[in-house]
Amino acid sequence: MAAKLHNKYGSRDCTEMACESPSMARMHIYANHVLVEVVDEQGRAVQPGTAGRLLVTLPEQLLLPDDPLRDR
């Protein structure tokens, strides 16, 4: 069998969030399925290329008025 392997990234809570894109040589985020942000210790977005914590929000969470993640 000549199938090509590729990496996928996910979790139990969010299922698949990203997969390897051979044409881009990096991970492709499933933007229609999750909102992925890199934030600092205070929960503020960091500049591209800066290390931080990965914050993943599902579209359903954006609809919740009292979601604590929205008030970070």
Q: Tens digit of pLDDT for each residue in 40-61?
A: 999 899 999 999 998 888 877 6
- pLDDT bracket for residue 3 (50, 70, 90): confident
pLDDT at 67 over 60: no
Compute φ and ψ for 71, nearest 5 degrees. -100, 25
- SS3 per residue for 8-64: EEEECCCEEEEEEECCCCEEEECCCCCEEEEECCCCCECCCCCCCEEEEECHHHHCC
Give the residue-averaged pLDDT of 18-22.
84
- pLDDT bracket for residue 69 (50, 70, 90): low
Compute φ and ψ for 37, nearest 5 degrees. -130, 145
Compute φ and ψ for 49, nearest 5 degrees. 90, -5
